[in-house]
Amino acid sequence: MANIQEASFAVDAAQGTSFGFASTAVLLPGTPASDSIVRVANLGPCHISVKLGTSNAVTVTNSTGVVILAGQVLYLTLGANTYIAGVSAGGPGSGSTCNLATGN
């Protein structure tokens, strides 16, 4: 049997948000300056694309972001980033609810 190693993740803060058809930037929860990871859980029915940035001017398209499939979770390294932009892969009126959590 294969040995599977599980990584630990200590949550600093979390918040829910939704990403729709247009790119939207969201301030990350908690204290991103002292956190190293953001966990993005796509709880909605549509794929989303996300991109980290240092201001609310960060934007993303489905071809420039990291894709998170519906029902999946992705961990991203923060660096100096304090915002995340997201956009849904669905058409107008569709979107996906996400849970954002920062921590180490």
Domain ranges of the chain: 13-103
Instruction: Report the first-to-last Cα separation within the chain, whole angstroms.
Output: 29
pLDDT band at residue 33 using 50, 70 and 90 as cut-offs: confident
φ, ψ (nearest 5 deg) of residue 87: -150, 145
pLDDT band at residue 92 using 50, 70 and 90 as cut-offs: low
Q: Is the pLDDT of residue 25 over 60?
A: yes
User: Does CATH number 3.10.330.10 belong to domain 13-103?
Assistant: no
Q: Is the pLDDT of residue 1 over 70?
A: no
Helix, strand, coil percent content, the chain, rounded in steps of 5:
0, 45, 55
